[in-house]
Amino acid sequence: MALASAAAAAAVVAVFTVLTSVVLANNDAAQLDRRLDSIVDASVYPDQSDSTRGVLTTGRSRTTGQVVFQRGFQLPQLTPGTDTVEVNGLDYRVRTIPVDQQGGVLMSVGIRADSILLSRARIPLYTAVGVGTVLIAAGLGWLLAGPAIRPLRRLTAQTLRLGKGTEKIDPVKGVREAEDLSDAMVGMLSRLAAAQQATTNSLQAAQDFAANAAHELRTPLTAMRADLDTLRIHDLPADERDEVVADLSRAQRRVEAIITALGQLASGQLAQAEDREAIDVTDLLDRVARENAHHGVEIVVEVGEDVGSVWGWPGGLRLAVDNLVRNAVAHGEATRIVLSAYPSGSSMVIVVDDNGRGLPAEEHEAVLGRFARGSTATAGGSGLGLALVAQQAALHGGTIELSDGPMGGLRATLTVSTSADTEQVTDRVELVGAEPGPLRRHASRVAGLRSRAKRPPRS
């Protein structure tokens, strides 16, 4: 581009110089002839000629060719018309006309050809000036094209480094076209990176699902096969047969729980920021309370008047609170659960308290890992319920903490960000033991509000 700019500028100057030279040459030739005409007219009267001003006049007899009169150097014998001749080493423009004097005379009047602006003697000078102008124009074209080219060269250098330790392009500044191209490439790479990350997450989720399923399902499936072999081979008494069938049912429920939990973990890994929406926390807790109320279990919702909405994945946040409630019922054997929520700065705190048997303090952190089970957990669980809660807490820019609760059981404190920004909050918010503000109570305390119909185990 720089060479093209310089060449274009030089070409324009060169064409302009040539055209100017042609125009000047034609104009000067016309001016020379007009001047010669005026001198010839004046020279018809010899007394008015002026040889001191570079004008030569020579008159020759038309019959003999002898010189009749002469002013200045002698001009050669010429026929009527206009010619350019050399006299004493100089070029003269000569006009020859017949004059009715002394029996007929051919009078030749000449003027120096270099008496005008453009002459052959000055052509080299004009050519040198034109060449110099072309070179200057080429240099200026190169210098002016440089600022337009440098951003493109920087962009090219960054592009060549892609995949060699860097996966991004820094925006370049310069001419508008280079900036537009840079912005387009940055956007394209961002979209490609997002798509690649989504693909990587999908593959990782599939690999995790397969690896965890293969590892965790081996034990219950082996136990199920042993029970099935026992039923097939042995003719057991009715009570022993019922016991083996019960073992099969428990193993089947564990397999189903593991597969369901692993699928939910994989779904959490594939969560997309654009799928987030506003979640009404009060409505969420009410739904959890209504749908988890069993015979003998009282669930109360206590939320402050200032509780609003948070941005997140409704299904994921609902899953987290559901798991905390079910964990309290299934493993803590709680009969009363209190769900509360209150805002704290840029976060929303959801607290689940129960009156169950709790959990030893040294296990509060450990049970948040995958396939980790507390010492008070009942048989048949997947060990993934609290891991799902921890995953959703991280996805929502918050944390999950377990502690001893004021009701004698376990307190789970789930903190999530209220920001609508796609960047997740990473600061840890320590709110364990904080008391909520003024509360309004939602009645969900009808024991056995809705009894869940048990689905038959899958064969």
pLDDT at residue 445 in the model: 32
Q: Strand, coil or helix: what is 365?
A: coil
The total of structural domains in the chain comes to 3
Residues 233 and 303 placed together within one structural domain of the fold = no
Residues 285 and 387 placed together within one structural domain of the fold = yes
Q: Residue 417 — very low, low, confident or very high, per pLDDT cuts 50/70/90?
A: confident
Q: Is residue 153 part of a domain?
A: no
Nearest 5°: phi and psi at 17? -65, -45
**No. of helices (H) and no. of strands (E), the chain:** 7, 13
The yes-or-no verdict on residue 429 having pLDDT over 50 is no
Taking only the tens place, the pLDDT of each residue in 340-374 is 999 888 889 999 999 988 888 898 888 888 777 77
Query: Of 194-203, 222-231, 330-339, 437-446, which one has max mean pLDDT?
Result: 330-339
List C-alpha distances in Å: 98 to 51, 103, 187: 20, 11, 88
| Dist CA 201 CA 198 (whole Å) | 5
Kindly report which listed range (31-35, 143-147, 284-288) carries the lowest average pLDDT score. Answer: 31-35
Q: Is residue 181 part of a domain?
A: yes
User: How many C-beta atoms lie closer than 10 Å to residue 253's C-beta?
Assistant: 17
Taking only the tens place, the pLDDT of each residue in 298-312 is 999 988 878 888 888
Residues 259 and 351 placed together within one structural domain of the fold = no
Give the residue with greater pLDDT, 109 vs 453. Answer: 109
Residues 264 and 327 placed together within one structural domain of the fold = no
Q: Is residue 344 part of a domain?
A: yes
- Residue 256's CATH number: 1.10.287
Q: Is residue 149 part of a domain?
A: no
pLDDT at residue 164 in the model: 76
Q: Is residue 75 part of a domain?
A: yes
Residues 282 and 370 placed together within one structural domain of the fold = yes
pLDDT at residue 447 in the model: 30
| Dist CA 290 CA 215 (whole Å) | 35
The stretch 217-241 carries a mean pLDDT of 83
Q: What is the pTM of this model?
A: 0.47
| Dist CA 288 CA 338 (whole Å) | 11
Q: Residue 11 — very low, low, confident or very high, per pLDDT cuts 50/70/90?
A: confident
Q: Is residue 151 part of a domain?
A: no
- Residue 297's CATH number: 3.30.565.10
Q: Which domain holds residue 330?
A: 274-442
Q: Is residue 450 part of a domain?
A: no
Residues 257 and 301 placed together within one structural domain of the fold = no
**Pick from 270, 302, 321: which residue ends a domain?**
270
Residues 291 and 235 placed together within one structural domain of the fold = no
Query: Of 116-120, 317-321, 382-386, which one has max mean pLDDT?
Result: 317-321
Give the residue with greater pLDDT, 17 vs 391. Answer: 391
The yes-or-no verdict on residue 1 having pLDDT over 70 is no
Contacts of range 133-137, beta carbons closer than 8 Å, 24 or more positions apart: 133/13, 133/17, 134/10, 134/13, 134/14, 134/17, 135/10, 137/6, 137/9, 137/10, 137/12, 137/13
pLDDT at residue 349 in the model: 92
**Pick from 270, 290, 306: which residue ends a domain?**
270
Q: Strand, coil or helix: what is 2?
A: helix
Q: Is residue 239 part of a domain?
A: yes
Handedness of CA 115, 119, 124, 127 (dihedral sign): positive
Residues 74 and 219 placed together within one structural domain of the fold = no
Residues 259 and 281 placed together within one structural domain of the fold = no
The conformational region for residue 72 under phi > 0 = left, psi -120 to 50 = alpha, else beta, is left
pLDDT at residue 339 in the model: 93
**Pick from 57, 89, 124: which residue ends a domain?**
124
The yes-or-no verdict on residue 436 having pLDDT over 50 is no
What's the whole-number average pLDDT of the chain?
A: 76
Residues 303 and 253 placed together within one structural domain of the fold = no
Name the residue among 375, 454, 402, 417 with its Cα closest to residue 279.
Answer: 417
Nearest 5°: phi and psi at 68? -95, -45
Give the residue with greater pLDDT, 262 vs 287. Answer: 287
The yes-or-no verdict on residue 320 having pLDDT over 50 is yes
Residues 307 and 336 placed together within one structural domain of the fold = yes
Residues 79 and 93 placed together within one structural domain of the fold = yes
Q: Residue 215 — very low, low, confident or very high, per pLDDT cuts 50/70/90?
A: low
